[in-house]
Each structure stands twice: as C-alpha cells, then as structure tokens.
Amino acid sequence: MLPFRTHEEDFFGIERCLRCIDKGMRGQVLSNLRRVTKENVPAGTWVYQPVYPRVLDKLNEMLGHYQSQNVKKITEQQQKKQKARA
C-alpha cells in the first residue's frame, strides 16, 4: 500500500498530485494511509478506493483517444496500400 504514497512521482503529494484527484479525495486516501500505518488497520483496496473511479475515468479517456488515433492511422495505411495495388 505504501509504495504509491512514497513513490518518487509523489502521486498524492501537494505539489505533484495526480491532476484528476481533487483535494477531498487526496485527503481521504492520506487519512486511510495514516490508519494503516499508525493504527495497524489491515491494508486493502479500501485505502485507495476514493480515487479509483476518477483515475480510471481519466485512463479510459486517455486510452480512448490513443485507440482512436491508432485506428485512424491503421485505416489510412490500409487505404494507401489499396491505392498502391490498384
């Protein structure tokens, strides 16, 4: 659980926090992490649960754009090959 918190990219830090996460979500995750480290509460997916939907939405958005660009590029390449054969 803690590697995400202590990662060099500082995913939950004040300066470099993930853009898709708002202050409330970040605070809830940090509170959950404190419970795990200080209160010895068993870690689990619940620790990062507040940010999952927002992060997954952002990843889907980015992947969707990437996929659209790939499909467009492949289609253009196929059309060029068909024109070259004709």
- Give the residue extent of every domain in the chain: 2-85
Is 28 or 13 the better-scoring residue by pLDDT?
Answer: 28
Could you tell me the two tokens for 2? 């803690």
Cα 61 to chain centroid distance, Å, stands at 10
How many angstroms separate the CA atoms of 24 and 47, rounded?
14
Contact present, 48 and 27 (Cβ < 8 Å): no
Contact present, 33 and 2 (Cβ < 8 Å): yes
pTM above threshold 0.75? no
First and final CA of the chain: distance in angstroms?
A: 58
Q: Summarize pLDDT for 28-61 with one digit per residue, the tens.
A: 998 998 999 899 899 888 998 998 888 888 888 8
Q: Does the pLDDT at position 75 exceed 90?
A: yes
Overall size of the chain counted in residues: 86
